[in-house]
């Protein structure tokens, strides 16, 4: 009886995290992989892994970072397993193209294309900062970088986006 209650509480705790952070997990995965289908697969795998290791998460405040770290690792694993080639932006699959052509807003489409074309090293810290609200110090922790390296990458990312947006 008691174990049933404990299992129920465990599931409740997990569902709460999923409800709060699922969107962040998906968007992070989508921008890491640049592919909506892969993002869905990665999130599924990440949820499974998070469920199995939920008891290792002791600090509730670290839940978001914990989940995003799992997404990051699952994404890397996915690409290792599949040995996927770097995305060729002139030859996108429907799932990759779906990431870009969503809005009738031309400026938004232009920006989305520019972000899509950023190198992974620049795109990821940008996503973590703008979308996830991470500080540069937190990004450094997440990516295993020095804070100075993060600042440089963010600066360069925005410079590239600015340059791209200035193009007709």
Partner 1 sequence: MKCEEYREAIAADPSFDGNAGHLSECAACQAYRTEMLALEQTIGRALRLDVPELEMPELPEIVAEESRESSTSMSDNVVALPNRRRVSPAWFAMAATVVVAALLGIRLLSTGIEYESLADEILAHVDHEPYALRVTDVAVSDERLASVVPANVAKMDHGAGLITYAQSCVINGHEVPHLVIQGERGPVTILLMPHEMILEAQILAGENVNGVILPVGNGSIAIIGESGESLERIQQQVMKSATWST
Report the residue from 40, 87, 92, 95 that binds partner 1 according to the rule CB under 8 A.
Answer: 40
Q: 94 to 123, contacts with partner 1 by CB under 8 A?
A: 99, 102, 107-108, 111-112, 115
Using CB under 8 A as the binding rule, whether residue 165 contacts partner 1 is answered as yes
Q: For the CB of residue 90, give the shortest distance to partner 1 in the complex, in Å.
A: 20
Report the residue from 17, 30, 35, 122 that binds partner 1 according to the rule CB under 8 A.
Answer: 30
Q: Which is nearer to partner 1, 88 or 166 (CB)?
A: 166
Q: Phi and psi for 138 in degrees, rounded to 5?
A: -70, -35
Using CB under 8 A as the binding rule, whether residue 85 contacts partner 1 is answered as no
Using CB under 8 A as the binding rule, whether residue 26 contacts partner 1 is answered as yes
CA–CA distance, 8 with 140 (Å, rounded to integer): 36
Q: 43 to 82, contacts with partner 1 by CB under 8 A?
A: 43-44, 47-49, 51-56, 58-59, 62, 65-66, 69-70, 73, 76-77, 79-80
Q: Positive or negative CA dihedral for 96, 88, 83, 26? A: negative
DSSP 100-148: H---S-HHHHHHHHHHHHS-HHHHHHHIIIIIT---HHHHHHHHT--HH
From first CA to last CA, the distance across the chain in angstroms is 66
């Amino acid at each position: 009886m008691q174990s049933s209650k404990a299992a129920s509480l465990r599931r409740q705790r997990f569902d709460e995290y999923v409800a709060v952070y699922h969107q962040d997990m998906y968007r992070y995965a989508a921008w890491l992989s640049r592919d909506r289908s892969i993002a869905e697969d990665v999130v599924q795998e990440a949820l499974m892994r998070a469920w199995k290791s939920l008891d290792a998460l002791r600090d509730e405040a670290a839940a978001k970072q914990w989940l995003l770290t799992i997404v990051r690792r699952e994404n890397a694993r996915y690409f290792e397993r599949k040995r996927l080639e770097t995305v060729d932006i002139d030859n996108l699959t429907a799932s990759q193209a779906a990431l870009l052509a969503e809005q009738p807003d031309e400026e938004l489409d232009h920006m989305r294309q520019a972000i899509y074309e950023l190198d992974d090293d620049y795109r990821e810290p940008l996503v973590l900062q703008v979308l996830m609200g991470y500080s540069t110090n937190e990004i450094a922790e997440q990516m295993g970088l020095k804070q100075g390296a993060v600042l440089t990458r963010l600066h360069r990312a925005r410079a590239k986006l600015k340059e791209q947006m200035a193009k007709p």
